[in-house]
Structure 1
């Protein structure tokens, strides 16, 4: 458990450092268009020189960093649930499922999380953690495939992710990879009206940037040379912004992969101790690993969005998808190794050494 806590701490520190780097890079890239605003603010400050520049950067970076972190906390949960077509369900709709989660949460001395059910035949589950509370997501396929002690074991596994707080860390860590892969688009949440409102916002932003470019381009506004200069500046900004985002995402993926493997082992062990029945979790793993509904392509090496959070690495897809970039990292430990460790826990429970 100390290893998991240490990796969670390093992951959180890295996420904070990457968030600062992303916001700072965006601010630098946008400097040509923010120059008029900067000059207007500097004109009203009681001091100038280096102090004014520092004050400007603090005024830009601080709220931008807060907004960026808020976006991670606010949208990752909603987008992840939307990706698997999951919805929050109440006890009147799934009474047996709620009873199981309530009973296991009481055993673990946890506040019962929200429960969501995904409309998917692939049997799988995951836990999402935010500052507003946790949500355990299970698929219809999981409820149809498992029952009794096996289902209890999987639910206990997800609750242990909540108890260990690694669900929150992994939820945050999934934001940048999903953003880089194109699996997550913040504009879908900010502008739910569809592509029309997005195009309108894009045109307004482009017009604003065009006018503000007069501060850095010597040609007359509206002239051909001015327009070509603006297009070049805009293209360079987008290109370097995309490259920088990919570079900043890479260490998050690598450290997230390491945390993901450690957290699966820790959740398996804690769930086995909670239920007192490691064999049930072993049987669940064997049943789900051999299920006909799982994809033909093993996605254990694809750390992206939902798949990095799931009980088993194939996510909720019934077939391999090639529509988006997959970052080639191993997000889950091999199922055989998980089973071997659970058998070790079972022997420890039998001898009373746990």
Structure 2
């Protein structure tokens, strides 16, 4: 079994998230029948999945990849899709402000988006590594746990806010509810973020295996990191930051709640000679 560590982490996080959800349902059950609560939750998660996928692509102006302009890249993408068993994945191009790429969806309905600046920055072999990394996320289905985690965190935090706000409809009560909802959301998301960082290492490993060129991906990461941390570079949009191969600049708070491991550690695992 490839990447048992990721599967174990996904299973453990799934159990923890289900416990949060079960606790919420237990509290709400006196207000509505259990089948209704479960049905509403499924509709909420499905809606978040569809809307989140659509919003991520829309937020960067994603459109069909210009295959005629970049035939080598298009051919490499098709080859990787076939080898990794994700043939139905679409390739789009978007504007992200910095060289970047992200994947949304699952096997059979995946989408990979690359920024126009990424095409200008990387060589073909380096770009192939990035594409393989994003396809690995689709293949491993790790974005599903991310989605469930975000959905449960949103549900629980909304519940906390409305309970406190309804109990005390003053401005102070609403403010307290808002602060506590943020804290609860952060607590739930800790479990999701742990997987988010680990899944980047797994996707790097898969990309190195399918391209048989770990150094090319490492070089790509170094270039993306250098450009992304330039003083004039815009930060990565929060709506797609957790999905991207480069998570954005790091302040103290973003380090504590980072969606990505440090780029230096990723490069060290792929091609330590580049850090020498």
Q: Aligning the two structures, in what range does the TM-score lie when normalised by the shorter sequence?
A: 0.7 to 0.9
What's the counterpart of residue 311 of structure 1?
245
What's the counterpart of residue 85 of structure 2?
109
How much does 1:127 deviate?
A: 1.0
Q: Is the 8 A contact 2:97 2:234 kept in 1?
A: no
Which residues of structure 2 form unaligned runs of 5+?
A: 158-164
CA distance in 2, matches of 1:232, 1:161: 41
Q: Deviations over 1:31-63 (max 9, x none)?
A: 5xxxxxxxxxxxxxxxxxxxxxxxx52243132
CA distance in 2, matches of 1:245, 1:20: 18
What's the counterpart of residue 291 of structure 1?
227
Q: Is the 8 A contact 1:158 1:267 kept in 2?
A: yes
CA distance in 1, matches of 2:57, 2:29: 31
**After the TM superposition, which of the residue ranges 237-246 and 132-141 deviates more from structure 2?**
237-246
**Does 1:342 find its partner at 2:270?**
yes
What's the counterpart of residue 329 of structure 1?
257
Counterparts of 1:1-354 in structure 2, within 5 Å, are 1-21=3-23, 56-89=32-65, 91=67, 95-130=71-106, 133-175=109-151, 235=169, 242=178, 245-291=181-227, 304-314=238-248, 328-343=256-271
Is the alpha carbon distance of 1:294 and 1:259 closer, same or farther for their aligned partners in structure 2, counting shifts above 3 Å?
farther
CA distance in 1, matches of 2:92, 2:47: 21
**After the TM superposition, which of the residue ranges 153-162 and 251-260 deviates more from structure 2?**
251-260
Which residues of structure 1 form unaligned runs of 5+?
A: 32-55, 182-230, 347-354
Question: Which one has the largest radius of gyration?
Answer: 1
CA distance in 2, matches of 1:171, 1:294: 31
TM-score (norm 1): 0.62
* Secondary structure of residue in 2 paired with 1:157: helix
Is the alpha carbon distance of 1:142 and 1:293 closer, same or farther for their aligned partners in structure 2, counting shifts above 3 Å?
farther
Q: Deviations over 1:250-271 (max 9, x none)?
A: 2332112111111111111111
Is the alpha carbon distance of 1:145 and 1:61 closer, same or farther for their aligned partners in structure 2, counting shifts above 3 Å?
same
CA distance in 2, matches of 1:27, 1:326: 36
Q: Is the 8 A contact 1:157 1:271 kept in 2?
A: yes
Q: Deviations over 1:210-242 (max 9, x none)?
A: xxxxxxxxxxxxxxxxxxxxx976837967875
Q: Deviations over 1:68-121 (max 9, x none)?
A: 222222211112222333234474676544322111112223324112221233
Is the alpha carbon distance of 1:269 and 1:295 closer, same or farther for their aligned partners in structure 2, counting shifts above 3 Å?
farther
Is the alpha carbon distance of 1:245 and 1:10 closer, same or farther for their aligned partners in structure 2, counting shifts above 3 Å?
farther
Is the alpha carbon distance of 1:112 and 1:305 closer, same or farther for their aligned partners in structure 2, counting shifts above 3 Å?
same
How much does 1:169 deviate?
A: 2.4
* Secondary structure of residue in 2 paired with 1:117: strand
How much does 1:331 deviate?
A: 1.8
How much does 1:329 deviate?
A: 0.7
